[in-house]
Structure 1
């Protein structure tokens, strides 16, 4: 079963598409630079499933001078400003599994 894109996935893919279009690079050039297939690049930039992994975001971003963290931060900033915009598909995604929540606090 295909994994649906979350709103954050779509925002990040949109920023990648804008950056790639602005760069003037072709998908073939990006594929050569990143080692990704042209098909996979197209899937990500068309916002199709499956969504980009963090590693893929980093590879595509680096091809146009952006880091994965910059792309995620841009998307988060937009999402925070939009009252009706959900970062995740449902609340259960943000819940910790049963047990000690302190195990997950590495900040």
Structure 2
């Protein structure tokens, strides 16, 4: 089953696509610089599933002069300003597995 993009994934991919276009770098050059396949780069920049990993975001971002943290921060800033913008697909993502709450309590 394919993993769907969350809204945050789409925002980050959109910023990556914009940065790649602004840099004027081809997918072929991007593939050579990052070691990623042209197909995978296309999937990420077209905002298709599966979403980019943090490592992939970092590699593509680095090729166009951005860090993964800069891209995530941009996306978070936009998401914060959109009151109707859900960062997660559903509430169950934020729930701990039943019976394992103590495993996650590090307070």
Give deviations 1:18-64, integer Å, cap 9, x for gaps. 00000011011110000000000000000111000111000000000
Cα displacement (A) at 1:95: 2.3
Q: What does residue 70 of structure 1 align with?
A: 70
- Equivalent position SS for 2:105: helix
Q: What does residue 36 of structure 1 align with?
A: 36
- Equivalent position SS for 1:50: coil
Cα displacement (A) at 1:94: 1.8
Give the CA RMSD over aligned residues. 1.1
Which ranges in structure 1 are unaligned for 5 or more consecutive residues? Answer: none
Q: What does residue 99 of structure 1 align with?
A: 101
User: Any residues of structure 2 matched to 1:1-107 within 5 Å, and which?
Assistant: 1-97=1-97, 98-100=100-102, 101-103=104-106
Which ranges in structure 2 are unaligned for 5 or more consecutive residues? Answer: none
CA distance in 2, matches of 1:18, 1:91: 30
- TM-score, structure 2 normalization: 0.92
CA distance in 1, matches of 2:73, 2:49: 22
Give every structure 1 segment of 4 or more consecutive aligned residues whose post-TM-superposition deviation is greater than 3 Å.
none
CA distance in 2, matches of 1:61, 1:46: 15
- TM-score, structure 1 normalization: 0.92
